[in-house]
Amino acid sequence: MSGPSLMDSLFQRTLEDLIKGLRQQLIGEQAFISKALEEIRKEIKSTDLSTKSTALLKLCYLSNLHFHDMSFAAFHALEVLSSPRFSHKKIAYHAISLSFHDSTPVLLLITNHLRKDLTSTNEFEVSLSLQCLSRIANVDLARDLTPEVFTLLSSNKLYVRKRAVAVVLRVFEKYPDSVRVCFKRLVENLENYDPQILSAVVGVFSELACKDPRSYLPLAPEFYKILVDSKSNWISIKVLKIFAKIAPLEPRLANRVVEPICDLMRKTGAKSLLFECVRTVVTSFSEYESAVRLAVEKIREFLVDEDPNLKYLGLHALSIVASKHLWVVSENKEVVIKSLSDPDPNIKIESLRLVMAMVSEHNVAEISKVLVNYALKSDPLFCNEILGSILSTCSRNVYEIIVDFDWYVSLLSEMSRIPHCQMGEEIENQFIDIGLRVKDVRPELVRVARDLLIDPALLGNSFLHRVLSAAAWVSGEYVEFSRNPLELMEALLQPRTSLLPPSIMAIYIQSAFKLLVFCLHTCFVRGGSTAGVSASASYESFDDLSIENGADSTVAHGQTCTSAPITNESIVNLLKLVELALSPLLGSHDVEVQERARNLLGFVDLIKLEALNSSGQEENESERKGVEATKIIRLVHDAFSKELGPVSLTAQGKVPVPDGLTLNENLGDLETICGDIELPSSNTFSFGYPSEEKDVLSFSNLQIKEDSGQSNESTSLLAEHRKRHGLYYLPSGKSEVISNDYPPANDPALQGDNNDNASDLVKLTAESLVPKRKPNHSKPRPVVVKLDEVDEKPVAVKQLESRDDSLSGAVRDILFGSEDILPTSSRSNLPNSNRKGKKKQHMITQVESKENVVDDGNSSSRRRKDHSHGKERRHRKKNAEERNETDRKEKESSSNHPRRHKSRQRAEEPLKVPPQTSVIPDFLL
């Protein structure tokens, strides 16, 4: 390509032309942009810097607002940067700070340009290059330019100086060793009287203090002075941030600082400063009663303010206080509860959090009631937010705050009936979990499950399917508590179950199987005459509950059995019902459903003959056959009646790996093998299930044919398998869209008795929040089964530990590897007791805090595992510098050593620690 001609540069489109053209283009935006880009590519190769820079500027525009990649121009940007003209430089710096990142290949070439501009006499050029450095600095740049930045830190042009101060932060971050060089000058700037510079320095320190507050304790006197003297709110806010971090480390400091902060809080008119004071007090000075009271007063002002911002921040501040002073929240509960119906979703969520913070075992029932009422009225999003937080709060620590599980179970069912409820999965888990863990609640659980199952309208709501699957499982597993198994059976087999996704359908069938076995067992094995005894015995304790929802055809002839024992006749009906309902499912497209239906029908076939016989003629003739059938029934019943317990997360790990079994072997191929098979959509046919499960499913059939000798073994095997997989045989795909012509399960209009008045609710909660003993607390809390290794996640813990090991190892490596200012011997010489016992030494003797970093390697690195090792090192270095700093002061006060020796003394300092400790506390305040 020939070089660009004069014409090119004369008739180049300017940025303005480009923008105008872009706004008026007729050829379509994309086409126009790609045409413009083409031009730019040509122009940017020009040797004329003006043309080049204009092209670069246009490219910046396109990259900025139309997201076009401009990395191809990186080198050209550098070329423009070398221009002597300020206007070009400005464009180049702009482009560079927009487009360069750590992996830009030409980043290495920029160092000299930056250096040249950093030493320029034009303060704006210096400023530009500082600005750029703050954006693109990486380790190399930070290292190479440290001397220049250092020089600028004491520049006599304030404009340059303050910018250099701000950039130091970035340099420290990238290249921790620069702390050695620059820290002293940075601290000197802290005593500057120019507010701009002070603001910059304080800003830098507030950032640094966030990461490692302990190192900056020695500077507390300076910060204190700034806090007291500062006239600028910007600076005060930053200083407050510093104190929020460092004050908790040193009680004496907190004592000194708390009063000025309160003063500030009383005097200031600026909301931002006021809020910062409040936040500082509630986060870091929460043990100072009077300060907290004052802060709470201010929070209250925020809460009742019209401005939604202040209201939000007030709630936010409350939630910080809540962890330590719950009384503050209860004092303001009216506002909090009212905020639940605020138009702003952020405010609502914040207040919900606060309400949940107030929950205790005494008021959980009332608060839940209020919240459920709110959930009924809110939009779907917030409704689920509410339900989710109720669920998670109540299930915390294995249902710690729940005393009355009967109540909780009915709450669960109530929540699942809320129209917008999408928490089906969580409710499902809790239903099953409670069933497994809490024995005493099972009768109530079965009753609740029955209510859910029997309502045909619920089947139409796809969000409820998961809940229904839990209900089906519960009613199958704990059928012995059921008042009326026959009715349940009909509910499980009702025609509308066809709306369920296959995986849940399978659970329904399996539960029907359990129910059937139970009925047969009661009827035949325990003797026809005494049948129903066990069933009735188990629900004797219940009041006679009327069936509210059951006014449906399915219950029509089940009704007769409500209180009647299970008779032969009803068994026959039952078997007929099963056959009727399941025979269409034999052709189901889903293997799981088909399989289970076949199992059940096969079982029915086996039993039917005897059942029919015994119903037709009395027991005379059937005796011989009856023995056979009874044996089968007993067998299967035994298999099902083995109780399932909660399974610890670690259970799998406890199973020893059998010899000769290599896990993972060949499993890698599985993916590819399965991947080859084009899986049809979920409701046609699925190959996905591991064959093992099918084996076990048919197992129950096989088992029937086996003689009783092997039954024990197989029973336990089956039970074992069920225990392992339980309900979770199948992943549920609940994406089925089902047309629903039934009325919605829970029409909000029907919930007429809901308290619609917010103030009523407030009153209600107000009452409920008063901690009082509930009457039903007289009932003792049922036992909740917990596993001995309380559901922890050992795997995660192990990972953490291993990471810690590597981290602390790395830290140690760095410690010993680098030219160290701190010999190991001197570290180990330090008495350990100092660290915890005497706080004053803590704050000044950085050697110790450094030791903290090392020794507490485990805890501290866990806390900030995101910190790079470099940072650890940096802190250490910084510590060293600070020590120099304090040292310097010390020396100045004694005026023995000239300052210039300082750097040489550094190496010896650690050895001087013991004398230091006794002197330094006086520096503090």
Main-chain dihedrals φ then ψ at residue 56, nearest 5 degrees: -65, -40
Helix axes 178-189 and 158-174, enclosed angle (nearest 10): 140
Neighbour tally for 755: CB within 10 Å: 16
Quote the least distance from Cβ 294 to other proteins, whole Å: 19
- If one asks whether residue 822 binds other proteins (CB under 8 A), the answer comes out as no
% helix, strand, coil for the chain, step of 5? 75, 0, 25
**How much is the CA Rg of the chain, to the nearest whole Å?**
38
**With contacts defined by CB under 8 A, how many residues of the chain interact with other proteins?**
69
- If one asks whether residue 14 binds other proteins (CB under 8 A), the answer comes out as no
Quote the least distance from Cβ 172 to other proteins, whole Å: 10
Give 238-299 as a DSSP string.
HHHHHHHHHGGG-HHHHHHHHHHHHHHHHH---HHHHHHHHHHHHHH-TT-HHHHHHHHHHH
Which of 175, 243, 275, 518 touches other proteins (CB under 8 A)? 275
- If one asks whether residue 60 binds other proteins (CB under 8 A), the answer comes out as yes
Which of 866, 895, 898, 900 touches other proteins (CB under 8 A)? 866
Quote the least distance from Cβ 316 to other proteins, whole Å: 9
Measured from the CB atom, the residue of 136 and 488 that comes closer to other proteins is 136
Smallest CA-to-CA distance from 208 within 257, 237, 170, 236 is with 170
Measured from the CB atom, the residue of 110 and 519 that comes closer to other proteins is 110
- If one asks whether residue 241 binds other proteins (CB under 8 A), the answer comes out as yes
Which of 117, 250, 276, 490 touches other proteins (CB under 8 A)? 276
Burial 596-620 (b: 16+ CB within 10 A, else e): bbbbbbebbebbbebbebbbeeeee
Which of 285, 312, 481, 640 touches other proteins (CB under 8 A)? 312
Residues 6 or more apart in contact with residue 127 via CB below 8 angstroms:
159, 160, 163
- If one asks whether residue 279 binds other proteins (CB under 8 A), the answer comes out as yes
Segment near other proteins (CB under 8 A); pick from 204-212, 247-255, 405-413, 684-692: 204-212
- If one asks whether residue 204 binds other proteins (CB under 8 A), the answer comes out as yes
Which of 52, 76, 88, 325 touches other proteins (CB under 8 A)? 88
CA distances from 4 to 41, 87, 153, 529 (A): 12, 21, 44, 108
- If one asks whether residue 514 binds other proteins (CB under 8 A), the answer comes out as no
Burial 151-171 (b: 16+ CB within 10 A, else e): ebbeeeeeebbbbbbbbbbbb
- If one asks whether residue 185 binds other proteins (CB under 8 A), the answer comes out as no
Which of 173, 451, 487, 638 touches other proteins (CB under 8 A)? 173
- If one asks whether residue 766 binds other proteins (CB under 8 A), the answer comes out as no
Residue window 345-374: x/- pattern of binding to other proteins, with contact defined by CB under 8 A: xxx---------------------------
Cα–Cα distance measured from residue 852 to residue 849, given in angstroms and rounded to the nearest whole number: 5
- If one asks whether residue 481 binds other proteins (CB under 8 A), the answer comes out as no
Measured from the CB atom, the residue of 15 and 814 that comes closer to other proteins is 15
Structure tokens at 304: 């009742």
Cα–Cα distance measured from residue 172 to residue 868, given in angstroms and rounded to the nearest whole number: 13
Please check whether residue 836 is in contact with residue 849, taking contact to mean a CB–CB distance below 8 angstroms: no
Quote the least distance from Cβ 418 to other proteins, whole Å: 25
- If one asks whether residue 551 binds other proteins (CB under 8 A), the answer comes out as no
- If one asks whether residue 64 binds other proteins (CB under 8 A), the answer comes out as yes
Task: Give 280: exposed, middle or buried? Use CB within 10 Å, 0-12, 13-18, 19+.
Answer: buried
Please check whether residue 539 is in contact with residue 504, taking contact to mean a CB–CB distance below 8 angstroms: no
Which of 166, 423, 582, 639 touches other proteins (CB under 8 A)? 166
CA distances from 910 to 242, 823, 856 (A): 27, 8, 19
Cα–Cα distance measured from residue 526 to residue 520, given in angstroms and rounded to the nearest whole number: 9
- If one asks whether residue 308 binds other proteins (CB under 8 A), the answer comes out as yes
- If one asks whether residue 344 binds other proteins (CB under 8 A), the answer comes out as yes
CA distances from 176 to 172, 477, 533, 880 (A): 5, 63, 80, 12
- If one asks whether residue 86 binds other proteins (CB under 8 A), the answer comes out as yes
Q: Is the dihedral of CA 113, 114, 118, 121 positive or negative?
A: positive
Quote the least distance from Cβ 344 to other proteins, whole Å: 4
Residue window 40-59: x/- pattern of binding to other proteins, with contact defined by CB under 8 A: --------x-x------x--
- If one asks whether residue 205 binds other proteins (CB under 8 A), the answer comes out as no
Residue window 120-149: x/- pattern of binding to other proteins, with contact defined by CB under 8 A: --x-x-----xx--xx--------------
Which helix H or strand E contains 618, and what residues bound it? none
Measured from the CB atom, the residue of 204 and 474 that comes closer to other proteins is 204
Segment near other proteins (CB under 8 A); pick from 163-171, 504-512, 514-522, 824-832: 163-171
- If one asks whether residue 272 binds other proteins (CB under 8 A), the answer comes out as yes
Cα–Cα distance measured from residue 71 to residue 721, given in angstroms and rounded to the nearest whole number: 58
Which of 25, 82, 97, 120 touches other proteins (CB under 8 A)? 97
Burial 642-674 (b: 16+ CB within 10 A, else e): eebebebeeeeeeeeeeeeeeeeeeeeeeeeee
- If one asks whether residue 91 binds other proteins (CB under 8 A), the answer comes out as yes
Measured from the CB atom, the residue of 113 and 521 that comes closer to other proteins is 113
Quote the least distance from Cβ 345 to other proteins, whole Å: 8
Q: Which of residues 372-411 bind other proteins (CB under 8 A)?
A: none
Helix axes 139-152 and 123-136, enclosed angle (nearest 10): 150
Which of 207, 440, 804, 856 touches other proteins (CB under 8 A)? 207
Segment near other proteins (CB under 8 A); pick from 108-116, 303-311, 530-538, 574-582: 303-311
Place of tokens 């607002």: 65
Cβ contacts of 302-311, under 8 Å, gap ≥ 24: 302/275, 302/278, 303/332, 303/335, 304/335, 308/342, 308/344, 308/347, 310/271, 311/339, 311/342, 311/347
Amino acid at 253: L
State the residues that interact with other proteins by CB under 8 A.
5-6, 9-10, 15-16, 19, 48, 50, 57, 60-61, 64-65, 67, 85-88, 90-91, 94, 97-99, 101, 122, 124, 130-131, 134-135, 159, 162-163, 166-167, 169-170, 173, 195-196, 199-200, 203-204, 206-207, 210, 232, 234, 237, 241, 271-272, 275-276, 279, 308-309, 311-313, 343-347, 866
